[in-house]
Amino acid sequence: MSTAIVKGICRNEIRDSLNIWVSGPHKENLEHWKQYGANVITSNGEVICNCDIVFIGVKPAMLEAAICNCYLPTKNPKNILFISMLAGVNIQKLKQVLKQLPFDSNVIRIFPNTPMSVGAGSCLYAVDENVTQEQCATLEKLLAGCGMCEKVSEPLMDSLGILTGCGPAFMYMIIEALADGAVKQGVPRAMALRHASQMMAGSATMVLQSNKHPGLLKDEVCSPGGCTIAGVAALENGKLRATMINAIEAATLRVKEMSKN
């Protein structure tokens, strides 16, 4: 996910003014970051020293260990804006862990998705009470090349975040299944995948730009007694909508379990 975000950021017009530092326990796993002009290190403290904004992209169970590895060897510690993408870790928990650091920090929690890498993503963010409007504007400007970025209340981060963050995986499965259907009818696989993907992208653009309810757009395609309504009936028989609802619910329950742990 960190790579998806930086790819989106690199689409931004402010790319050349950025000074990117990346830290992780195994430097050999970070070599690909150099293609984005990043400084690759193994000390989280050096990131703190050189950056005003720090993205936390570790596994939730590794949060405390990652923060323990942060030190600030300077006589004039600065205020750091931490941006966390850790699923299931709320702002209260983040602030509790960050208290061990010998300097002030503000926290923004984000729920990104992988399409941010191609500038077509959706990123939600929630803030702690000390985050300023200027810091929110800085985040939105930083992610301007990633797609949609919207501030929400933290209670929405898990439910809506699951829709935006996990949803791409569900859509990839649908694209694959639709392409399989076309392949079954004799269409070459590469061609089927190409057009299934374009159809999905075009349909989403129609919803966003027409301001019409998707149900109405669906009705506009369904001629009486036609082939589309026959396919829609098959989808209803297969409980497609109920299955998608259940997928969002299952993923949301899982992230809530993670937050309890």
pLDDT tens, position by position, for the chain (261 residues)? 888 998 888 887 666 667 889 998 888 888 888 888 888 988 888 888 888 899 999 988 888 888 887 766 554 557 889 999 998 899 999 999 988 887 778 999 999 999 999 999 999 999 999 999 999 999 999 999 999 999 999 989 988 999 999 999 999 999 999 999 999 999 999 999 999 999 999 999 999 999 999 999 999 999 999 999 999 999 999 999 999 999 999 999 998 888 777
Q: Binding site: which residues?
A: 44
Record the pTM: 0.87
Whole-angstrom distance, CA of residue 216 vs CA of residue 46: 54
pLDDT at 86: 92
Whole-angstrom distance, CA of residue 204 vs CA of residue 202: 5
Q: Binding site for NADPH: which residues?
A: 44
pLDDT at 50: 86
Count of Cβ atoms closer than 10 Å to residue 190 Cβ: 10
pLDDT at 143: 92
The secondary structure of the chain, three-state, reads CHHHHHHHHCCCCCHHHCCCEEECCCHHHHHHHHHHCCEEECCHHHHHHHCCEEEECCCHHHHHHHHHCCCCCCCCCCCEEEEECCCCCCHHHHHHHHCCCCCCEEEEEEECCHHHHHCCEEEEEEECCCCCHHHHHHHHHHCHHHEEEEECCCHHHHHHHHHHHHHHHHHHHHHHHHHHHHHHCCCCHHHHHHHHHHHHHHHHHHHHHHCCCHHHHHHHHCCCCCHHHHHHHHHHHCCHHHHHHHHHHHHHHHHHHHHHC
pLDDT at 15: 67
pLDDT at 36: 84
pLDDT at 201: 96
pLDDT at 76: 54
pLDDT at 184: 98
pLDDT at 65: 86
